[in-house]
Amino acid sequence: MNRFFFAFLLTAALFVHAEDAADNKELDLDKVSPQEFLQVVRDPLRTDAWGEITGRITYAHEDAALRKGVIRVRVTFSATSMHAQIVLNDKNVYGMEQKNPTDGKKATVTLDLPEKEEKPGLFDFGIEPEDLTFAFIYWDFIEEMPRSESRQRDCRVMKLADPTGKGGHVLVWFNTKYGFPLEARWFEKGALSPWRTLQLKGAKKHANGLWFVKEMRLEGADKKWKTQVKFDHAEINSVGD
């Protein structure tokens, strides 16, 4: 298996842990500093639990035939780590292991790619591993941009640095009240326009502050391709259930 190591924290498989400011009278996500805001949004689930998500992928490109796939994501959480497995079309298996930060150290993540990936693979659907894990919300903070709306919802917009060292960045629109990401735009170094965009729709809150996304939409900046991921099943349970 090919292994890539990242020094940023992943949130597993479309489960995002976000704090509802209404549930915490001492915290107002609209007024805290951007660093405090991101700290709340990035707070991992620290309990023994497991979850599963299934969904369907549709990829459309003006110069290629329509591609369709089935995806299944399984994830386990603990106080110290997270393990996730993404299965595409019951053929390609992608594994991830996250070790939560301790003693001031950054979290580490291991990503396993199939040794012999069968086409079409995850990347052939226009999907990056960071899309299914929300890894981009853990990229290093650069600055907060002027606030704006995404789908008529007030958002704080954070500029975060691409960890690959290529000089790119991502802009992420976070719901001001809940801290949940609604939109992302990726920029290459020095570019004024994004090369790729992401929208998240149909968020539903589960127990323990977890949010489940019902639909993802990705689109290339050239408008030549689009990817839609619809999740039709999601569950999360305590270990032993």
What pLDDT does 113 receive? 86
- Dump pLDDT digits (tens) for 119-151: 999 889 988 766 776 778 878 889 999 999 998
Q: Any idea where the domains of the chain sit in the sequence?
A: 2-238
Q: How many helices (H) and strands (E) does the chain have?
A: 2, 16
**Phi, psi dihedrals of residue 96, rounded to the nearest 5°:** -140, 140
pTM of the model: 0.77
Take residue 165 and report the two structure tokens written for it.
């060292």
Give the residue, 241 or 227, on which the prediction is more confident: 227
* CATH 2.50.20.10 is the classification of domain 2-238: yes
Residues near 48 by Cβ (< 8 Å), separated by ≥ 6?
77, 78, 79, 238, 239
Which has the closest alpha carbon to 193: 223, 229, 152, 151?
A: 223
Q: Give the pLDDT score at 43.
A: 67
